[in-house]
Structure 1
Amino acid sequence: HGGKNFSSSLSVILYQEYSDVAINREIQRQQGAEPGPDEERGDSVSSCNLSPSSSFRSSRGSAFSLWQDIPDVRSSGQLDNFSNEERKLQEAKFELVTSEASYIRSLSIAVDHFMMSPELCECLGTQERQWLFSKLPDVKEVSERFLQDLEHRLEGDILRFDVCDIVLDHCPALRRVYLPYVTNQAYQEQTYQRLLQENPRFPGILARLEEDPICQRLPLTSFLILPFQRITRLKMLVENILKRTTPGSRDEDTATKALNELKKIIKECNSSVQSMKRMEELIHLNKKIHFEGKIFPLISQSRWLVKHGELLEVDTQNLSISGSKFKLTTRPVYLHLFNDCLLLSRRKDTWKFMVFVHAKIEDLKVKDLSQKLQGISGFIFYLQLCERQQLKHQILLKSPTE
């Protein structure tokens, strides 16, 4: 059957290269220059090189093959019974399968060549290795099961196969591995940079591994970011299938459900990454911000930094008029505005702050005095900080912009 040897026939095609080709084709699609079935086939297509459908050639000159060029499809005598749109639909489904095989090929290099390298294992600590490669083996395992089901479907009916029901069935497993992998991105990047700078053996070992022909001149970082690229690409592939599916059909319903589930996974991944970054920022700030007297627990899952910066506190005791202008005595005050509270502090040194007052957002009152004090450049406003409806602190602030 035409679907039996996708993984082996894609052995020379890495997903990074497929992504470049797919992006170029997407640009052409958006510009309305999508090729027709005759153009798509290209000048010469090797029937044994089953790989992502594309009208472009790879950087090494080999043409990416199409569903319609599979020997079983060509010899079936059924191809002429397919309309132009039906052919494009099958090509879109075929691309999802072959690009998954290409993706797994690249994941295998990341795991087998880099992660399992005895020299690299010996060079890295257990925690460093965990942070650098994260749950990549789990991603690979889930993707392999996904591809196995896709290939089995192709073997069953190479002419009229569907893939969106399989995508839908595998979404829970994809979510289970992609969410933690994507969330770990910040640790992954930090670990990689730290190892380059602080581990004297790491750069040399990494360079030797990257020089191996199996990597096709691609760096480790291009393999580590594959899951981020794939989950987004999978959504786009299903969107392309849905666009060509018969309206009102059961297939359209399945494709819509699969697309919605993929969108949910991507949304969760983005949200998780944002939460992780916010928490990292709070942990970082917690080391720099100190409180006078009362302890304030800064780190919270529901808190994030909205804005921060330095303003000038106007000394109301020494407010004087010189000619037609106000003469101001000021000193700097630093504000950290969070989604639920505001901290006012003085700099102890460049990166340390001593908080002298803080209040919840709902306990703040602001009064703009810029119109009343027109002789002063910038913006002047009164800020009152309350607690249980009682005034706790008030301060006159000047800012250069509104």
Structure 2
Amino acid sequence: MENFKRRHSKLINSSRLLYQEYSDVVLNKAIQSQKRVDSFSEDIESSFPSSPRLRRKVLSPQDSYLQRLSVSSNASLWQDIPMIRGSRILLNMSRDEQKLQEAKFELIMSEASYLRSLNVAVDHFQRSAELQAMLTNQERQWLFSRLHDVRDVSASFLFDLEEKFEEDMFTFHVCDVALKHAPEFRRVYLPYVTNQTYQEQTFQRLLNGNAGFQQVLERLESDPVCQRLSLKSFLILPFQRITRLKLLLQNILKRTRPGSEEEVQATQAYDALEKLIKDCNENVQRMKSTEELIYLSQKIEFECKIFPLISQSRRLVKCGELTALDFNTLSPKWKVTTRPIYLHLFNDCLLLSRPKEGGRFVVFDHAAFSDVRGEKCEMKLHGTNKNVFRLFLLQNYQGKRVEFLFRTETHSEKLRWISALAPPRGELDLLECPDAPQVQCIKTYKARENDELALEKADIIMVMQYSNDGWMEGVKLSDRERGWFPSEHVELISSKHARQKNLKEEQRVKNAKQQVFCKK
């Protein structure tokens, strides 16, 4: 920690906002900015990426030069810094150049706010003697993981960002700094994010079964330093920050001049963060899948041909109990009988089971994923037999073709099963879908099932289909992730101009990556 103290940030105390609140304000501004473009209520070229308005701080003569610059105005906008505002250099800058500098300054200010929250997480919670006494060594490791390392890397990153800013406040660069620190990001974020499953389980277990932990936690969270924020909100910060940092770099990349050295650096930094996030997600998914498979292997028995369930490459895509409809064709009125069948759909196979008491399953049929198809049912059915789809096993474990007719409880479940059973899709070319609906996330959504899409505020999603009971399937423009989400968390982008602008910006990033990495 000696190194951390020596490299103390000059911006760390420039705001009273912790990162949780700071980020929320920034994302709300991004949502409003998109709405302005959508409604044409303002000139779209006059909207600057901005930071939350901060309270004016009384400065003392001892405050650092950079700190005085950053807080002597009412806002944390780069253009509102006294030495920037009204300067001839600013007046000679184009709007695009000003937007680029604002985007870079936003990265610096948000990192300062993030570090401030990490200081609370480490110094107030992780190092609390009271809390330490309530935890075993293993629980401390699972709960806090390498949070202090994450904090130290953030401090070093911010220090270098500030140095760049002080060198030239008008044309400072940040992407080269992000690229330089990318290996350190990987060193600390990959293990921290991978530990997510253990962290969540440990926190919940302590909260539910350790009265002493609950009491100490309540006292710590009531301290003014936490600003009424919970420990959990601090623990998830690294997950949120690494994703947000990628988006901030993407925002800078969109504004760099094509073919410039800065575009190359922005592209390389963005790519490094994108790969890190992908590896983090894959690690989390791998751990989650392994736990699911171990659990299921204890609950599943086979009455047909047995095969080993646990595999490193296997992951659960979707599961649930459906109602199978069987028609008696010998009956004059085609009498329908029903039976429950539980489906476990993995990325490489499908298991069909009869549910038993105690959450157990007896598998009576299975097929490779490549031999499975789901289709809408065109048959007109009345009464309760709505939301029906067909399931085809082109070749089951016996080499036979088998067909099932399933009924779901809701329209969205029907569509979700058909989508999950579809063959793997290639990467979507956004420009081939210029007229596809787009929505913007206005309320964070945490995915609860494997086929759902986690959303953060201001995410733009291209909608592929929607149900009549409030669910949508879409693709996030920022990372091409696909999944289902509730429509109450998003708002429709009605302007064709706004939708085209969103697509062009994403294509700009894709083109930059192709240019940079094809040259190598």
TM-score with structure 1 setting the length: 0.78
Contact 2:51 2:75 in 1 (8 A): no
Q: Distance in 1 between matches of 2:325 and 2:80?
A: 74
Q: Which residue of 1 aligns with 2:148?
A: 137
Q: Distance in 1 between matches of 2:91 and 2:176?
A: 27
Q: Distance in 2 between matches of 1:128 and 1:353?
A: 33
2:19 aligned residue (2, 15, 18) = 15
Task: Name the SS of the counterpart of 1:238 in structure 2.
Answer: helix
1:253 aligned residue (261, 264, 271) = 264
Q: Which residue of 2 aligns with 1:374?
A: none
Contact 1:47 1:71 in 2 (8 A): no
Q: Distance in 2 between matches of 1:234 and 1:277?
A: 25
Shift of 1:156: 2.5
Give 1 or 2 for the bigger CA radius of gyration: 1
Contact 2:322 2:341 in 1 (8 A): yes
Q: Which residue of 2 aligns with 1:210?
A: 221
Q: Which residue of 1 aligns with 2:284?
A: 273
Q: Distance in 2 between matches of 1:361 and 1:75?
A: 64
Shift of 1:142: 1.5
Q: Distance in 1 between matches of 2:270 and 2:21?
A: 25
Q: Could you tell me which amino acid in structure 1 is paired with residue 76 of structure 2?
A: S
Task: Name the SS of the counterpart of 1:355 in structure 2.
Answer: strand
1:91-129 Cα deviation digits (max 9, x unpaired): 322221121111111011101110111111110122222
Q: Trace 1:96-175 onto structure 2 (pairs within 5 A).
A: 96-175=107-186
Q: Could you tell me which amino acid in structure 2 is paired with residue 97 of structure 1?
A: I
Shift of 1:176: 2.6
1:399 aligned residue (396, 406, 411) = 406
Q: Which moved more, 1:168-177 or 1:213-222?
A: 168-177
Q: Could you tell me which amino acid in structure 2 is paired with residue 399 of structure 1?
A: F
Q: Distance in 2 between matches of 1:164 and 1:364?
A: 46
Contact 1:369 1:382 in 2 (8 A): no
1:9-48 Cα deviation digits (max 9, x unpaired): 33633111211221122123322457678x9998996585
Q: Could you tell me which amino acid in structure 2 is paired with residue 120 of structure 1?
A: L
Q: Could you tell me which amino acid in structure 2 is paired with residue 221 of structure 1?
A: K
Contact 1:15 1:105 in 2 (8 A): yes
Q: Which residue of 2 aligns with 1:321?
A: 330
Contact 1:92 1:237 in 2 (8 A): yes
Shift of 1:207: 0.7
For this pair of structures, how many residues does the alignment match? 383
Q: Could you tell me which amino acid in structure 2 is paired with residue 16 of structure 1?
A: Q
Q: Trace 1:296-307 onto structure 2 (pairs within 5 A).
A: 296-307=307-318
Task: Name the SS of the counterpart of 2:311 in structure 1.
Answer: coil
Contact 1:6 1:98 in 2 (8 A): no
Q: Trace 1:276-287 onto structure 2 (pairs within 5 A).
A: 276-287=287-298
Q: Distance in 1 between matches of 2:169 and 2:255?
A: 18
Shift of 1:310: 4.3
Q: Which residue of 2 aligns with 1:342?
A: 350
Q: Distance in 1 between matches of 2:392 and 2:254?
A: 56
1:354 aligned residue (331, 353, 362) = 362
Q: Could you tell me which amino acid in structure 1 is paired with residue 11 of structure 2?
A: S
Q: Distance in 2 between matches of 1:196 and 1:299?
A: 31
Q: For residues 384 and 117 of structure 1, do their structure 2 counterparts lie closer, same or farther at Cα, with a shift above 3 Å needed?
A: same
Q: Could you tell me which amino acid in structure 1 is paired with residue 26 of structure 2?
A: A
Shift of 1:7: 3.5
Identical amino acids, percent of aligned pairs: 54
Q: Which moved more, 1:94-103 or 1:198-207?
A: 94-103
Shift of 1:334: 3.7
1:29 aligned residue (9, 13, 33) = 33
Shift of 1:356: 4.4
Q: Which residue of 2 aligns with 1:234?
A: 245
Q: Which residue of 2 aligns with 1:181?
A: 192
Q: Distance in 1 between matches of 2:234 and 2:156?
A: 20
| 1:63 matched to 2:74 | yes
Q: Distance in 1 between matches of 2:315 and 2:53?
A: 53
Q: For residues 21 and 113 of structure 1, do their structure 2 counterparts lie closer, same or farther at Cα, with a shift above 3 Å needed?
A: same
Task: Name the SS of the counterpart of 1:12 in structure 2.
Answer: coil
1:310-348 Cα deviation digits (max 9, x unpaired): 454969xxx6834x2345777555443333233343333
Q: Distance in 1 between matches of 2:377 and 2:84?
A: 78
2:201 aligned residue (190, 201, 204) = 190
Q: Could you tell me which amino acid in structure 2 is paired with residue 346 of structure 1?
A: R
Q: Trace 1:36-47 onto structure 2 (pairs within 5 A).
A: none
CA RMSD, aligned part only? Answer: 4.3
Q: Distance in 1 between matches of 2:246 and 2:377?
A: 52
Q: Which residue of 1 aligns with 2:103?
A: 92
- Could you tell me which runs of 5 or more consecutive residues in structure 1 were left unpaired when the two chains were aligned: 372-376
- Could you tell me which runs of 5 or more consecutive residues in structure 2 were left unpaired when the two chains were aligned: 1-6, 380-384, 409-413, 415-520
Contact 2:246 2:273 in 1 (8 A): yes
